Amino acid sequence: MTRPLLLGCIADDFTGATDLANNLVRAGMQVVQTIGVPRAPVDSVDAVVVALKSRTIPAAEAVAQSLAALQWLQAQGCSQFYFKVCSTFDSTPQGNIGPVAEALLQALGADFCCVTPAFPENARTVYKGHLFVGDVLLSESGMRQHPLTPMTDANLVRVMQAQSRGRVGLIEHAVVRAGAGPLRARIAQLRGEGVRFGIVDAVADADLLALGEALRDAPLVVAGSGVAIALPRNHGLAPRPEAAALPPAGGLRAIVSGSCSQATQAQVADFIAAGGAARAIDPLQLADDREGVVREALDWAAGELGHGAVLVYSTDRPESVRAVQERLGVQQAGALVEDALASIAKGLVQRGVRQLVVAGGETSGAVVQALGVAQMRIGRQIDPGVPWCHAAAPACDAQLHLALKSGNFGSADFFRKAFALLA
């Protein structure tokens, strides 16, 4: 890195990392996303997003990985840091948002940070500390049935407090709407009261822009990708399309989906209804014969790939996921399916796929690790929160275009739209 980094980011999952990188690129920053803490030199850019797969691992491990990422970012000369969490605040009851945020604050010698998952463009808004997903509270959204991180409380002050040692307060919308000055005053007041985290209301981009301005000198922000729209302008940067340029696309097309979120269910149904070639993976069959299931899926795909995009999916309805989890255990079922889908993705790339969409954050993490991806360049947005990326996949000796789709993101025709954008 030949110039100091303006912003150092740590993301708790891989789709979340591309979502954040996408918003920074759209606001004019050059961004590289790395898979884990970089071991090789990284291009000289404005911001690096270190993508971890730390959302659902034990809290102590999430803390250790996040601190290692922080150290690397500090060594690049960076003095402002962004801990990217999910816009639906996905976390296990033990964390990991609170424990990681507290460890980062301590390592930075700081005593306070703002926290907000608001991302109005994707219908995530926070009002009076309550998170809304579209028109409903988080606790009434599909997130209440998430396979790994069911979210049953929309009150973020309460959720954050339950996983933090320090006190959690609220920065209400009336203050945010009043602008950066009143926001700074409220932050100073909360700090004076010994509060460690301020959940920030935000219902529109204007709120995030005010917050971004107020955070100009803040060492740490804990947020979804929304606040990222406001930080590049603190450095005099403005949107520029060339920030998103990628090499031309070629090769075969595939989708691998391990997300069971509502948006992904609609996307899988849409792809199949439009006549797309699709093959379901049954987790119980996987538990009996992992190698056989992977081999059969790849044999099937080999026969279909020449005719258009293929979809391999474990996406299923909540009742079926629950039945699988009861038989196999929640973590075991998740790991088994992720591992199999990652092997299938690798097999697809070995068979010539060069445009690969992966649906699901944990699933994306498993896939990019199997491909050996170390860093990705961020390209054009397909839908809010999901850009095309370009990466080397050393495990397959290939370069490819990758889209890592958060389970909850994207319109129903996302899969078809994604390939059309690259054509």
Ligand X SMILES: O=C(O)[C@@H](O)C(=O)COP(=O)(O)O
Residues near ligand X (CB under 6 A) are: 13, 15-16, 19, 86-88, 224-225, 360-361, 385, 406-408
Q: Which of 30, 33, 125, 259 binds ligand ADP (CB under 6 A)?
A: 259
Which of ligand ADP, ligand X, none binds 334 (CB below 5-8 Å, type-dependent)? Answer: ligand ADP
From the list ligand X, ligand ADP, none, which binds 34 (C-beta under 5 to 8 Å, kind-based)? none
CA dihedral 267, 272, 277, 280 (to 10 degrees): 80
On whether the CB atoms of residues 36 and 20 are closer than 8 A, the answer is no
Could you tell me which stretch among 36-44, 219-227, 348-356, 360-368 binds ligand ADP (CB under 6 A)?
360-368
Question: CB of 256 within 8 A of CB of 418?
Answer: no
Q: Does 258 bind ligand ADP (CB under 6 A)?
A: yes
One residue of 46, 102, 207, 316 binding ligand ADP per CB under 6 A: 316
- What's the min distance (Å) between Cβ of 203 and ligand X? 17
Angstrom distance (rounded) from CA 72 to CA 78:
9
Rule CB under 6 A: choose which of 12, 102, 338, 383 binds ligand ADP.
Answer: 338
Supply the minimum distance, in Å, between the C-beta of residue 389 and ligand X.
14
By CB under 6 A, what part of segment 384-413 binds ligand ADP?
406-407
Phi, psi of 30 (to 5 degrees): -85, 130
Letters for 212-251 (x = contact with ligand ADP by CB under 6 A, - = none) are: ----------------------------------------
Based on the shown chain and the rule CB under 6 A, indicate whether residue 261 belongs to the binding site for ligand ADP. yes
Beta strands 277-280 and 310-313 are: parallel
Residues 85-114 that bind ligand ADP (CB under 6 A): none
Among 192, 227, 236, which Cα is nearest to 207's? 227
* Alpha-carbon dihedral sign for residues 168, 170, 176, 182: negative
Work out what residue 16 binds among ligand X, ligand ADP, none; the CB cut-off runs from 5 to 8 Å by kind. Answer: ligand X
C-beta separation of 202 from 127 below 8 A:
no
Which residue, 148 or 280, has its beta carbon nearer to ligand X?
148
> What CA dihedral angle connects 420, 421, 422 and 423, to 10 degrees?
40
